[in-house]
Amino acid sequence: MGKTTYKRLKGSQNLRHRLLLATLSSSPVLIEDIRADDTLPGLRQHEVSLLRLFEKVSDDCIFEINETGTKLKYKPGIVMGGRHLVHDCGVSRSIGYFLEPLILLGLFAKKPLTIRLKGITNDFKDPSVDTFRSATLPLLKRFGVPSEGLDLKIESRGSAPHGGGEVVLTIPVVQSLNAVTWTDVGMVKRIRGVTFSTRVSSQFENTMIHAARGIFNRFIPDVHIFTDHKAGTQAGNSPGYGISLVAETNAGCFISADTAIAYAREEETGDIEDEKKELMPPEDVGEQIASILLGEIEQGGVVDSTHQGLLFLLCALCPQDVSKIRCSKLSPYGIEMLRHIRDFLGVKFVIKPDPCTGTVILKCLGCGLKNLNRKVS
């Protein structure tokens, strides 16, 4: 047994991507100075919860956190997957924060993964569970992930600040992904969406749909937005409402936008007095999210800006073959992801702007990650 060599990193930014890439590339990491200068230094609740989740789906994964929480040693184990797993995500971040790393770990696990996640299903910070179901899962199919056993079931909704939602995620295992050439964005052929409301009048949903359709119907006739009003135990513990929209193009691209309106969490509100501040009216929510979606479509990438990082990572994990994709202007999150991919997987992207469309063409040679843990059936 040789001495473990740790990759040294600093700061708290992009912690979940560092942990994910460390796990996929089996490289132990030592992260120092985690919010060392903050009034509340160290790891946040959701970051510790994420480590617990990694521990749940892996075997022999070890992490050590110092007393102040500003230093983390993480040694990844073998991703096992498994059925009937349950994880409480807490209420400091929504389930969307945990889904992205979990989906990628599940693909390269030993056994197919079925896990029940509890917490906040819809939030304005992270992509909602609806967006994962209608835009993220179709993106995985593009890379050769089988649709059999790929599912996200929303059993109950939970809004901030107290959550109470539950979803069941099922991920199949793959031996390796397929490289893609994906530069044709195509034209939008239909828009689909879903509104939700918990512990408020279901009329809020009709108002949001009416406002969003008022904008879309000028451009496209095929718009269907469904309602998902939850009551009783399925409505979680807090009032909230929101909308998730996906535009599908004739080239098979899914461009998404979503938002959720709820009362702020305690740590976000300085004073208790303004805790019950006015929420944005549903009409404005519908109009705002429709405009955001049109903005994402206008930018012209094969995915929206929130899915950029995931797209780059999928390309980097492909076999040693060239992947070529078209993206809109790179988001700060996408740029950080490209840096982490270079550091952990040694994959560099060739980035070429396309001045005619204002988009960017990225090419890379995949690192050829194979799932060696997979049970051969």
Mean pLDDT across 261-268: 80
Are 239 and 198 in contact, with CB atoms under 8 Å apart?
A: yes
DSSP 305: G
**Dihedrals φ, ψ of 268, to 5°?**
-90, -20
pLDDT at 274 over 50: no
Closest by alpha carbon to 337, among 5, 74, 10, 20?
Answer: 20
Is residue 161 reached through a cis peptide bond, with omega within 30 degrees of 0 on the bond before it?
Answer: yes
- Predicted confidence at residue 171, as pLDDT, reads 97
- Predicted confidence at residue 242, as pLDDT, reads 97
When the pLDDT of each residue in the chain is averaged and rounded to a whole number, the result is 94
pLDDT digits (tens, 9 = 90+) for 163-200: 999 999 999 999 999 999 999 999 999 999 999 999 99
Are 110 and 156 in contact, with CB atoms under 8 Å apart?
A: no
> Which domains are delineated in the chain?
1-78 (3.30.110), 188-264+281-299 (3.30.360.20), 307-365 (no CATH)
pLDDT classification of 4: cutoffs 50, 70, 90: confident
Question: Considering Cα of 95, then 96, then 98, then 100, what sign does the dihedral take?
Answer: positive
- Predicted confidence at residue 106, as pLDDT, reads 97
Q: Which long-range contacts (CB under 8 A, 24 or more apart) does 53-61 make?
A: 53/87, 53/89, 53/98, 53/102, 54/19, 54/23, 54/101, 54/105, 56/85, 56/87, 56/115, 57/81, 57/82, 57/85, 57/102, 57/105, 57/106, 57/109, 57/113, 57/115, 58/23, 58/105, 61/23
pLDDT digits (tens, 9 = 90+) for 275-319: 456 899 999 999 999 999 999 999 999 999 999 999 999 999 999
Give the H or E element holding residue 94.
none
pLDDT at 156 over 70: yes
- Predicted confidence at residue 304, as pLDDT, reads 97
Percentage of the chain with pLDDT > 90? 92
- Predicted confidence at residue 273, as pLDDT, reads 43
Are 337 and 195 in contact, with CB atoms under 8 Å apart?
A: no
- Predicted confidence at residue 377, as pLDDT, reads 46
- Predicted confidence at residue 264, as pLDDT, reads 85
Are 317 and 21 in contact, with CB atoms under 8 Å apart?
A: no
Quickly count: other Cβ atoms within 10 Å of residue 288's Cβ.
18
pLDDT at 28 over 60: yes
pLDDT digits (tens, 9 = 90+) for 308-346: 999 999 999 999 999 999 999 999 999 999 999 999 999
